[in-house]
Homo-oligomer: A and B are copies of this chain.
Amino acid sequence: MHIPSEQDFIQQLSIDCVIFGYEDKKLKVLVSTLNFNGNFQALPGGFVYQNEDIDDAANRTLKERTGISEIYLDQFFVFGKAARKNQNFLDELIRLNPQMPFDGKQNKDQYDWFTKRFVSIGYYALVDIKKVIPMKTDLDKSIQWCNVYELPDLIIDHNEIVSKALESLRLNLDKKLLAFNLLSETFTMKEAQELYESIFNKTFARNNFQKKILDMDVLERLEKKFTGAANKAPFLYRIKDKAKADESPKMM
């Protein structure tokens, strides 16, 4: 297992990624269970190489865990309390993993590197969950999607990081059209509405939701989707211009 301890990374600076997906009408977050004894769960994260933009570091982390690049990614907050240390978490980890000698010379370096106070830059990402096969790194025992409203206890301040990410996502949805990054390429109006409802955790009026989305003039209507249900078939829609949608202003 490679634990970074070298000068090739910027010291005491980390990246934490809140990767949002959407499935079964639920907003989800990708969470890793660490490859140690004890049930340590954490956000995917990483460090920044000396010659790497912080945005690229976040993208690299994302690519590692999801296999896809060109993901929508937004830096949303820096977590920089002095008390923000891995110390407690690591001590607990060492207690539960006595087989790992953390006092040897080499591991001592790692321990020192890791137990320093870290400033962490929070990024959130929006992915089409169907395009993602969550991938473990050698630090992960497993990695899985968790409902954002039913998250387990995560290490350090990672629960707080998710809260802040969700808050930022909501604010930015009003300004951009990011949400469609969470859906597959084509979708019905109902699916779009259910997505918005799960993000904002509240319901919208069907008639007015549809009007508002269509008035924005960013969707193109495709053929009908025959669902097999005993009712009128809904149209499928697709974003007219994806790149533009991530930037264009105003909604909700």
- The interface size of chain A toward B, counting residues with CB under 8 Å, comes to 25
Q: A11-B10, A12-B11, A13-B13 known; A121 and B50 CB under 8 Å?
A: no
Among listed A72-80, A200-208, A212-220, interface-contacting one = A72-80
- The answer to whether A81 has its CB under 8 Å from any CB of chain B is yes
- Which interface residue of A52, A54, A55, A121 has the most chain B CB atoms within 10 A? A54
Complex interface residues of chain A between 47 and 64 (CB less than 8 A to chain B)? 48-56
Query: Contact at B121–A80, with CB atoms within 8 Å?
Result: yes
- The answer to whether A119 has its CB under 8 Å from any CB of chain B is yes
Q: A residues near B, CB below 8 A? A: 10-13, 48-56, 75, 77-78, 80-82, 116-117, 119, 121, 171, 175
24 example contacts (A-B, Cβ-Cβ < 8 A) are as follows A10-B11, A10-B12, A10-B13, A10-B117, A10-B119, A11-B11, A11-B12, A12-B13, A13-B13, A13-B119, A48-B80, A48-B119, A49-B82, A50-B82, A50-B116, A51-B82, A52-B82, A53-B80, A53-B81, A54-B78, A56-B82, A78-B78, A80-B121, A119-B121
